[in-house]
Chains A and B, each alone.
Chain A
Amino acid sequence: MKYVKSFFKYLSVILVLMLALGPMYWILVNSFKPTPELVSATPTFWPRTWTLEHYVNLFKQVNFVQYFLNSLWVALIATVISIILGALGAYSIYRCRYPGRNLFFGLFLSIYIFPRVLLLIPLYVTFSKIGLIDTIWTLVIVNVTVVAPFSVWLLRAFFSSVPRELEEAALVDGASRLQVLYKIFLPISAPGLGALGLNSFLLCWTEYMFAAIFILSDANKTLPVGMAYFLEQYFIDWGLLMSSSVLIALPAIIVFAIAGRYFVEGLTAGAVKE
C-alpha cells in the first residue's frame, strides 16, 4: 500500500513536470534533426541522426548575430535604467514620507491595467517627430515605461524586510541619507534588485509588439521581430525556427538560472501576505 501511494505521488509530480517542460524538450530535440527527419510524417522522439545544420544556417542565411545584439542592447540598457529608476522610486515610496506618496504608488500600480496597445499610436507619432523612430532607443524607452513602475511593486517584499533600525542607526552616526541609501540599504536589498533585473531583462528580451511597429529596417530588428518574419512565410523553414527558438530561449534560461531564485522569492513574498 505504501509503495502504491508513493508510486502515484511520483507519477503525479512527473506528469506535472512533463506538462511544463515537455514542449521545450520537443523544440530542443527537433533543432538537431536534419530537415527530412524533422518534416517526416512519423515523428521521432530521439533524433536518428544529429546535425548542427540549422544552427549553421542561422548564421549563414539570417542576420541572426545582428538581431541578437540589438535585443541584448535593448534588454541591458533598459534593465539598468529600470533598476535605477525603480529602486529609487520604491525606496522613496516605502521609506520616505511626503504628501502624494499614495497617489504615486497607485499611479505606478496602474501600469497593470494599462492597455499597452494604447501607447502604440501616440508614441509612434512622438518618436517620428523627434527622429527616434527605427532606432533601438524607442524600445529602450518604452520597455522602461512598462517595467520600471512594476518594479516598485516587485521590490515591496524585499524592501520591507530591511530593518529600519539599521538605517536609523547609520543616520545617528552621522551618515547622510544618500549614503545610507547606497552604502547600506541597496547592498542589503541586492536579491531584490536581482529579481528586478531578471524580470526586466526577460520582459525586454521577449517584447514583440513595440519592436514590430517602431523598428522598420532589418539592421535594427530585435530577435522576436526577426524570427516572426520566418514564422510568417508560406513555406516555413522549421529547422531555422527550431534552432533560433533554442538560441533565443537560452539567454532567458541563463539569466533565470542566475537570479531566478530571488525572483521566485520576491514573487511569492509579494503575493503571500503574512
Chain B
Amino acid sequence: MRRRINLGRDPWFGIALVVPLLLWVAATLIYPLLEALRLSFQNVQYLGTAGKYVGLSNYRTILLSKDFQRSAGLTIWWTLLNTAGKILLALVCAFVLNQDYRGKTFVRNWIILPWVFPSIVLATMGKWLLDPTLGLINYILVSLGLIEKGISFLGNTTYALYVVTALNVWRWFPFFTVIFLAALQTIPKQMYEAAQIDGASRVKRLWYIDLPHLLPVIKVSTLIASLWSVNIFDLIWLLTRGGPASSTATLPIYIYIKGFQEFRISQAATAAIVLFVVLAIYGVIYYKRALDIELEG
C-alpha cells in the first residue's frame, strides 16, 4: 500500500475532530460508570443520599442472593432463546426471500419494518393479540379447539418468558434477515452454475455453498444479537414488569426494581457493575475471535 503523505500528517487535526465525541462519552458514559462503581462500595439506600464505604459487602450480598442468581440464570436463558430465535428465523427468511421473484428489491427494503417500531407499540400489540378475552391468538386457539378458555399468557409464569421472547424475536428477525440477504447476494453466480452442472441438489447447495459463505456474517450477527438481547429493558418492562413472580425479571429489570422500587441504590449499582464486567469479558473474547476488526492505515 502506498504511503498517504497528506492525510496522515498533522495528528492535531484528527485529535481536534474526535475530542467533542470523546468529551461527551467521558461525561455521560465513563463518569456514570465510575459513579456506579463508587456506589457499589457504599451503602446508599435512596437516590441522592450519602453513604458510608462498606468494602465488598454489597458484592457478597448480591452474588449470594438467591434472587440475583435466579435472575442471572434467567438472563442467560433469555439471551440464548432470543439469539437463537432471531438468527434461525432470519436465516430461514433470508433463504426464502433470496429466491428469484418479482418485487424482490421492494421486499428487501421493507421487510425490516418491524424493527422501526417503538417498544411501546410492540407491547401494545402483544398485549392486544394475547389478551385472554379479546386477543386474536386466544380466539384462534379456542376456535381450533386446542384450548377451552382463553389463557392469560402474559400472566402465566410458564408462558410469559416465551411470549415476550416471541415478540422480541419478531421485532428483530427482519434486521438480521436483511443482513443475511445481503451476504447471500455476494455469492458469485458461477458457484451455483458449477453446482448445477455437477447436479448438486438444493439442499447440498445450501449446505456446501450458502452456509459456509454466510458463516462469518452469522458470527457477527450472533454477537450483536446476544448483546442486544441481554440489555433489553423496555419491552419486558412494558409487557410484564418482570412478573409474574419474577419469571421474566432478567438482570436489567432486576437492577431497575432494586434501584427504583426497593430503593437499594448501592445494591442495584453493584448488580449493574457485575453485569457490565461479565458482558465486557464476553464482548472482548468474542470481538477478538469472531470479528477481528482492524483499522486501516
Which residues does chain A contribute within 8 Å of B139, judged by CB atoms? 41-43
Q: Report whether B21 and A149 are in contact in the complex, using a CB–CB cutoff of 8 Å.
A: yes
**Given the contacts A16-B93, A118-B36, A253-B113, A85 and B13 also touching, CB distance less than 8 Å:** no
Contact A177 B109 (CB under 8 A): no
Q: A95 vs B252: C-alpha distance in the bound complex, in angstroms?
A: 37
In Å, the complex CA distance between A126 and B187 comes to 51
**CB-based nearest B residue for A261:** B109
Give the contacts of A46-81 with B (CB-CB under 8 A): none
Over the window 194-231 of chain B, the binary record of Cβ atoms lying under 8 Å from chain A Cβ atoms (1 yes, 0 no) is: 00000000000000000000001100110010011011
> Are A119 and B32 in touch, CB under 8 angstroms?
yes
Report chain A residues within 8 Å CB of B117.
24, 206, 249, 252
Closest to B102 in A: A10
**Is B161 at the interface (CB under 8 A from chain A)?**
no
Known: A26-B136, A92-B14, A117-B256. A122 touches B36 (CB 8 A): yes
Residues of A within 8 A of B116 (CB): 202, 249, 252-253, 255-256
Say whether B280 contacts A110, CB under 8 Å.
yes
B245 at the interface (CB under 8 A from A): no
Answer yes or no: B174 CB below 8 A from chain A CBs. yes
Q: Known: A12-B96, A26-B129, A86-B21. Is A228-B39 also a contact (CB below 8 A)?
A: no
CB pair B125–A101 under 8 Å, yes or no, is no
Question: A131 contacts the other chain (Cβ, under 8 Å)?
Answer: no
User: Roughly how many angstroms separate A269 CA and B220 CA in the complex, as a whole number?
Assistant: 13
**B-contact 0/1 string along A74-116, CB 8 Å cutoff:** 0000000000111011011111111101101101111111111
Q: How many residues of A contact B (CB 8 A)?
A: 107
* Contact of A149 (CB < 8 Å), options: B25, B113, B120, B255: B25
A118 near B13 with CB under 8 A, answer: no
Residue in A closest to B18 when the chains form the complex, CB atoms: A92
A89 neighbours in B (Cβ, 8 Å): 17-18, 20-22
In the complex, residue of chain B having the shortest beta-carbon distance to the beta carbon of A151: B21
Q: Say how far B278's CB is from chain A's closest CB, in angstroms.
A: 9
- From B66-74, B76-84, B232-240, the one touching the partner chain is B232-240
Contact A241 B4 (CB under 8 A): no
Interchain nearest-CB distance for A167 vs B (Å): 6
Q: Is B87 an interface residue (CB 8 A)?
A: no
Produce 1/0 per residue, A219-250, CB < 8 A to B.
00001100110010000101001100100110
B179 contact from A12, A116, A267, Cβ within 8 A: A267
Residue of A nearest to B272 (CB): A118
B6 touches A168 (CB 8 A): yes
The reply to whether the CB of A196 lies closer than 8 angstroms to some CB of chain B is no
Interface residue? A209 (CB, 8 A): yes
Task: Scan B274-289; emit 1 where CB is below 8 A from any A CB, else 0.
Answer: 0110011011000100
Assuming A27-B125, A252-B118, is B17 touching A96 (CB within 8 A)? yes
A193 located at the interface, meaning its Cβ lies under 8 Å from any Cβ of chain B in the complex: no
Question: Could you tell me if B220 and A271 are in contact, using CB atoms closer than 8 angstroms?
Answer: yes
| Known contacts A116-B231, A121-B269; A16/B97 CB under 8 A | yes
- Verify if A4 is at the interface (C-beta below 8 Å from B): no
Asked if A172 is at the interface (CB within 8 A of a chain B CB), the reply is yes
Give the number of chain B interface residues (Cβ < 8 Å).
102
Q: Are B39 and A121 in contact (CB under 8 A)?
A: yes
Q: Does A123 contact B (CB under 8 A)?
A: yes
**Beyond A13-B107, A172-B6, A202-B116, is A271–B121 a contact (Cβ under 8 Å)?**
no
Instruction: Check if B144 is an interface residue, CB within 8 A of chain A.
Output: no
A189 to chain B: closest CB distance in Å? 14
* Minimum CB distance partner of A274 in chain B: B186
Give Cα distance in the complex from A97 to B35, angstroms. 32
B217 touches A20 (CB 8 A): no
Shortest Cβ gap from A198 to chain B (Å): 9
Q: Name the A residues within 8 Å of B220 (CB-CB).
A: 271
Distance between Cα atoms of A16 and B108 in the complex (Å): 12
Question: A88-B17, A96-B7 given as contacts; is B24 within 8 A of A121 (CB)?
Answer: no
In-complex Cβ contact of B120 among A111, A122, A248 (8 A): A248
Q: How far is the CA of A19 from the CA of B90 in the complex (A)?
A: 12
B296 within 8 A of A: yes
Judge if B123 is at the interface, Cβ distance under 8 Å. Answer: yes
| A141 touching B238, Cβ below 8 Å | no
Interface flags, B107-144, vs A, CB<8A=1, else 0: 11111111011111101110111000110100100000
**Known: A112-B227, A267-B178, A272-B186. Contact between A249 and B121, CB under 8 A?**
yes
Does B53 interact with chain A (Cβ within 8 Å)?
Answer: no
Partner of A113, one of B25, B127, B283: B283
Q: Is the CB of A92 within 8 A of B17?
A: yes
Q: Which residues of A contact B268 (CB under 8 A)?
A: 121
A241 with B101, Cβ < 8 A, contacts A42-B139, A85-B20, A118-B36 known: no
Which residues of chain A have C-beta atoms less than 8 A from B181's C-beta?
A: 268
State which of A85, A238, A242 has its C-beta within 8 Å of the C-beta of B21.
Answer: A85
Give which listed residue, A13, A238, A249, contacts B97 with CB less than 8 A: A13
Residues of A close to B28: CB separation below 8 A: 119, 123, 141-142, 144-145
Q: A117-B252, A236-B127 are in contact. List 4 more A-B contacts (CB 8 A).
A: A95-B14, A122-B36, A123-B28, A245-B124
The 3 closest A-B pairs by CB, nearest first: A96-B14, A268-B182, A98-B11
